[in-house]
A and B are shown apart, each in its own frame.
Chain A
Amino acid sequence: MVRPMYKITKRTQLSQNEYDFLIEAPRIATKAQPGQFIILRINDSGERIPLTIAESSATKGTIRLVFQVIGKTTAELAQLNVGEFILDLTGPLGMPTEIKDYGTVLIVGGGVGIAAIFPIVKGLKNAGNRVITILGAKTAELVILAKECQEYSDELIITTDDGSLGMKGLVTEAMEQVIAREPINYSWAIGPSIMMKFCTETASNYDLPINVSLNPIMIDGTGMCGGCRVTIDGNIKFACVDGPEFKGTQVNWDEFISRMKQYTDEEDACLADYQKAQVIHNG
């Protein structure tokens, strides 16, 4: 089997639990569009996990992945160094964001979801939109990619739960302020599901169309298993091929949030095992 080698060429730690990697993947880099993701598998016993393509360079043949350590696989990924390889990397997957000139757009990113909105911010800015970006996180340290987003935004608003950076409060409060101030033509929200749900409520209160990017559990990522299914406007859709972007108002949020909990017990056990092994390994 011919297996291209997916080499890590750059590794930056963004916060206590968030990492920023550049990985060689020339084929994916030439095709990637905003809104798309990859599926990776670190090694032979690994699971397949989806991560958004935060940026790509066709000339350098690299893609950028930004991820948060929340379980075994992301913890293991964070341990890899520059020069090391990832066994499998597939993509770009999913439907791209519809990039065009909408007029004025409002883009909201929360937590590690900021990595997923960055290519959309960049794409929409380059397509001629007036871009207003809201970044939200628990504390200042978790506001990632602010400089990059700033570069492609006409206005950047930062909110933190504890007020350690920008305005104290939730992204939805910042949304309300912007919507009250000027007409917005389209909006996006990517972040924790509960945040996307509330952003959707806020936007729909003002009849503002909003797209969200769903992050259900995925296995193949190519439409062959239905593990990633979500109910959109009453119909079963597969987020990996029909999405991951959908109209926020059409998502069955409660069902979506409930399905994210499917493997909590197994995931916890897996992470605990891994951490124990690490402790023994590191003495």
Chain B
Amino acid sequence: MARRSRTKTPIAEQKPKVRNSNFNEVCLGYTIEEGQAEAIRCLQCKDAPCIKSCPVMIDIPGFILAIKEGNMQEAAEILSSYTNLPAICGRVCPQEKQCEQVCKLGMAKNFEPVAIGKLERLVADWALENQDFSKLSQSDQPKIGRVAVIGSGPSGLTVAGDLAKLNYEVIVYEALHDSGGVLTYGIPEFRLPKRIVKKEIESIKALGVTIETNVVVGKTITMDELRSEFDACYISVGAGAPNFMGISGTALNGVYSSSEYLTRINLMHSYEFPKYDTPIKRSQQVVVIGGGNVAMDAARCAKRLGAEHVSIVYRRSLEELPARIEEYHHSVEEGIEYHWLTNPIEYIDNGNGDLSGVKCIKMELGESDESGRRSPVPIKNSEFIIEADTVIEAIGQGSNKVLLSTFPELKLTKWGYIEADPKTGETSIPGVFAGGDIVTGAATVILAMGAGKVAAVQIDNYVQEKMKTPVTTKV
């Protein structure tokens, strides 16, 4: 056999200069031949560590072997027995902190790990192109029960798909006019094409799942109504409510939350204004606050909308940056500037209620805190101003209260998230399960999915048990 390449098989990407003026996907994906060349690099470990580092424990060597042998159908089947959204996870998982981090090949000196995510994406994209979902046969057995899922993000979609496979009637209620949660309104087209998200959702609907949009649970329908109409409920409403730093000038025109900025762009297509009716500022100088995926996405969107200068202000340093490393590299290639160890302290008014600059202060890393991370402390007299007509705060989101405020019986954590057993998804209320960001706080797509997988099994157990126990008096 040929010697294993030390590096990952190169993958085609749009050139930075070109992609900076469009919203098309940056990474173009492997061809089957390239995928096979990459698949050859896999060591086919017996006790593969990558499996254990994938939150849904995909049989990674298994599907990679199928690719190597040119058997895409089999690879797709292996994937779909573990994950309902492989085309999405292959694209957005932080692989460097999960499956690829522990890859034995990658542990070897001077070797890069196997490009597991890219291979997963290849198989999933192949399946979306080549499989006919309309042929998926739905069982004609009478349904076991009815389950309501609240929120159509990755967690809700996963529960719904798994329960439909187990022969449940599942209805997903979604507040917005489109399904997908963050996949649809948060992560931009150039990282996650909406065509792919739509197809993945179609494949879940083909299992017999119904999605009802424009339903805000708590407002349009109450939890009491759902609980009386369904055998069980799964709450996966995400952590969508934006936090603001609350520094002086937050109300100025030109100050956005990342949620608003990205919703306008992704859900409402404002980058195609006026073909689409929702406007967005065509800014020249943009400052983005934060260091996660959300900050990267907002900054790269701003660049694509034509801004001359886009900088990211992050209070720690590159080592602590929580974003996917691939996206950080992409952002640098696209000309995003970085102010490390910097924190904003004030937004400056141009005199007309519009933003003219961001006053920042330099930080240094102090003592390690309880979490072991060195916490940033401001350096005296180091203030400086970055000129800006737009600032986007991407400092994290909290739990959305629309549903929770109408369901006070449900126990919450001290941070306002739903208290649910991570091993089962059970909440303080029997028959009500929860998972995804609304339980963990803002996390990842694959963790939201994993929570959905776990809950589907538990919901099935719960409903089956309920059917067995004769109904006595209602408590």
Contact = CB atoms under 8 A, between A and B. Distances in A.
B211 A225 contact: no
Contact of B263 (A225, A241, A269): A225
Interface residues of A, number: 45
Contacts of A115: none
B215 A27 contact: yes
A141 B401 CA distance: 42
A219 to B, nearest CB: 6
A227 B215 CA distance: 21
Interface in A251-278: 252, 255, 258-259, 261-263, 266-267, 269-270, 273
A81 to B, nearest CB: 20
Band of interface residues on B:
35 or more
A45 B275 contact: yes
A231 interface: yes
If over half of B's interface residues share one DSSP class (helix, strand or loop), that class is named, otherwise mixed; here it is: loop
A194 B462 CA distance: 56
Nearest to A240: B402
B142 to A, nearest CB: 22
Contacts, number: 127
Contact of B253 (A28, A92, A231, A262): A262
B213 A219 contact: no
Contacts of B175: 90, 220, 222
A48 interface: yes
Contacts of B401: 223, 241
A187 interface: no
Interface stretch (A1-9, A55-63, A106-114): A1-9
A88 interface: yes
A168 interface: no
Contacts of B263: 219-220, 224-225
Interface string A106-128: 00000000000000000000000
A220 B176 contact: yes
Contact of A90 (B214, B264, B277, B352): B214
Interface string A189-230: 000000000000000000000000000000110111111010
Interface stretch (B38-46, B71-79, B241-249): B241-249
Contacts of A229: 244, 251
A258 B355 CA distance: 12
A41 B276 CA distance: 11
B177 A90 contact: yes
Contacts of B274: 266, 269-270, 273
Closest 7 CB pairs of A and B: A266-B279, A258-B353, A47-B277, A225-B260, A224-B240, A88-B177, A47-B278
6 contacts: A31-B219, A90-B175, A229-B251, A262-B281, A266-B273, A266-B274
Interface of A: 1-4, 27-28, 31, 41, 45-48, 72-73, 87-93, 219-220, 222-227, 229, 231, 236, 241, 252, 255, 258-259, 261-263, 266-267, 269-270, 273
